[in-house]
Structure 1
């Protein structure tokens, strides 16, 4: 009698779905309904208005056959043409017990390259950007174009926090960015 490997548990099968659509086509409803109808569950979801579109990211989890059924349902939804959709199989996020969650907020007069310079700073220090929201807006008083970013980072617990904060604030001063870096409050 040969041993068969056990079938993966429901939470071992994940499908990452990314959808763009006009707000009136309710991409979150369309995708979350398919997830539920196929016997899967929404493990995580993000919705953001970008330009005139809604962006929806959903991490679905379920049994292997439920995920396969969901892939087929999404292919049909994509063919209908109202949504721009991609999906692929992935794994659950690995828990990082050694990373300290910090929140970074940056405000500055807008100029090209601010976001890439921030990303370069964190990458150069081996710090993962976990979440980011950035936008441009006009200052109410002056009408100047402004840049704003809220960034969640994972700082390795082996890193000297005071030195990192000093390096970051010096970096921001050099670019004329108003910034803070604080531990995340839960």
Structure 2
């Protein structure tokens, strides 16, 4: 009988400086746990991280116990929450969504609304702004992974999505996620 894994989701936010990832990962390893999944980046002048830490219930408790000292030493705000394994829905098909447009407010909200209205879950999302080559025009890019229910007619969804994006002057692609 397979035992269910136990996890701790940890989020950390604070002023960026060298050594944060080293100190966080060492503290997790020292308590007998491992980082199973993570997203870390610098946003503005701040470091931001979300980590999924795997361990036995007692080793996760050790990680929880060292968090206040890590907060103090690293100048971070750290929160954590216990969680279990993700229940996989066998009827969702992963698709990649890429959108690029001239930057303006509401792009993420509009895309999120399109998928929410159709019962499609956004499972991962990254956005960034940049200056267009040659013109310097402010641009906005979104990359998402969505879980599309298997009973969805993909050609119809793709057509609706492309029409929706055309109406908002967004260049978009919706395609199966390549493993």
Contact preservation (8 Å) 2:20, 2:74: no
* Residue 102 (structure 1) aligned to one of 95, 100, 105: 95
Contact preservation (8 Å) 1:172, 1:178: yes
Q: Matched residue pairs, number?
A: 178
Whether 1:112 aligns to 2:105 is yes
Whether 1:175 aligns to 2:168 is yes
In 2, the alpha carbon distance for the partners of 1:123 and 1:165 equals: 15
Structure 1 residue aligned with 2:152 = 159
1:124 CA displacement: 0.6
1:25 CA displacement: 4.1
Q: Which runs of 4+ in 1 moved over 3 A?
A: none
1:88 CA displacement: 1.1
Query: C-alpha offsets along residues 55-106 of structure 1, whole Å, 9 cap, x if unaligned?
Result: 1111111111111111001122123351221111111222222111111110
In 2, the alpha carbon distance for the partners of 1:24 and 1:88 equals: 25
1:125 CA displacement: 0.8
* Residue 31 (structure 1) aligned to one of 6, 15, 24: 24
Structure 1 residue aligned with 2:50 = 57
In 2, the alpha carbon distance for the partners of 1:95 and 1:132 equals: 19
Q: CA RMSD in A?
A: 1.6
- Please say which of residues 64-73 and 39-48 is displaced more in the overlay: 39-48
Contact preservation (8 Å) 2:8, 2:53: yes
> Where do residues 84-163 of structure 1 align in structure 2 (5 Å cutoff)?
84-163=77-156
Structure 1 residue aligned with 2:11 = 18
In 2, the alpha carbon distance for the partners of 1:72 and 1:171 equals: 49
Contact preservation (8 Å) 1:27, 1:56: no
Q: Which has the larger radius of gyration?
A: 1
Contact preservation (8 Å) 1:35, 1:41: yes
In 1, the alpha carbon distance for the partners of 2:148 and 2:73 equals: 43
* Residue 66 (structure 2) aligned to one of 69, 73, 76: 73
In 2, the alpha carbon distance for the partners of 1:126 and 1:46 equals: 25
SS in 1 for 2:17: helix
